[in-house]
């Protein structure tokens, strides 16, 4: 059986596409982790607001001075501002994730294209080797037959 050293001519390009895809996967993972931490922060703000709403409702039965109401009002205004800010941050992170996901899909498509080309190249090479081997075996058989005749 004939064996030749086979090297796909675009192996380096295939490796570049694989590396780019892996890098984009890592970046997307980082973005999604950041989004999750921002979502957790938003949830904490919401739970803090709910807790303080319950607290103020309980204190409403007591006589509170105007300063306490002003303090609660300032807290809730600040909480609403933080909540709006978190929504903005989360939407920006979503946009970054969507963009990165599109880049990742494109990189995966390019890598897969190169893998298909490599598979075709190796299949063609294998077929050529099989053809050469068959020709060599035919030649050997013909020589053997003519020597025995």
In tens, the pLDDT along 19-30 reads 999 999 999 999
Structure tokens at 5: 């050293």
Q: What is the pLDDT of residue 18?
A: 94
Task: Supply the mean pLDDT for the chain.
Answer: 88
| CA–CA separation, 143 and 2 (whole Å) | 19
Prediction pTM value: 0.71
Asked if residue 9 has pLDDT above 70, the reply is yes
Q: Mean pLDDT check: name the lowest of 34-38, 75-79, 119-123.
A: 75-79
The pLDDT-based confidence of 64 (bands split at 50, 70, 90) is confident
The share of the chain scoring above pLDDT 90, in percent, equals 58
The DSSP line for 45-105 is: HHHHHHHHHHHHHHHTTS---HHHHHHHHHHHHHHHHHHHHHHHHHHHHHHHHHHHHHHHH
Mean pLDDT of the 133-138 span: 91
Mean pLDDT for the stretch of residues 100-105: 96
Is the pLDDT at 1 greater than 50, yes or no? no
DSSP 132: H
């Amino acid at each position: 059986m004939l064996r030749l050293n086979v090297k796909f001519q675009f192996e380096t390009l295939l490796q570049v596409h694989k590396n780019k895809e892996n890098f984009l996967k890592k970046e997307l993972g980082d973005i999604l982790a950041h989004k999750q931490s921002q979502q957790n922060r938003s949830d904490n703000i919401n739970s803090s607001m709910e807790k303080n709403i319950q607290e103020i409702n309980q204190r409403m039965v007591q006589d509170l001075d105007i300063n306490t109401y002003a303090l609660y009002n300032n807290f809730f205004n600040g909480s609403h501002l933080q909540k709006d800010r978190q929504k903005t941050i989360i939407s920006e992170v979503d946009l970054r994730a969507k963009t990165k996901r599109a880049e990742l899909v494109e990189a995966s498509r390019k890598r897969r294209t190169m893998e298909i080309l490599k598979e075709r190249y190796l299949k063609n090479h294998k077929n050529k080797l099989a053809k050469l081997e068959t020709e060599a075996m035919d030649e050997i058989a013909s020589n053997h037959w003519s020597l025995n005749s």
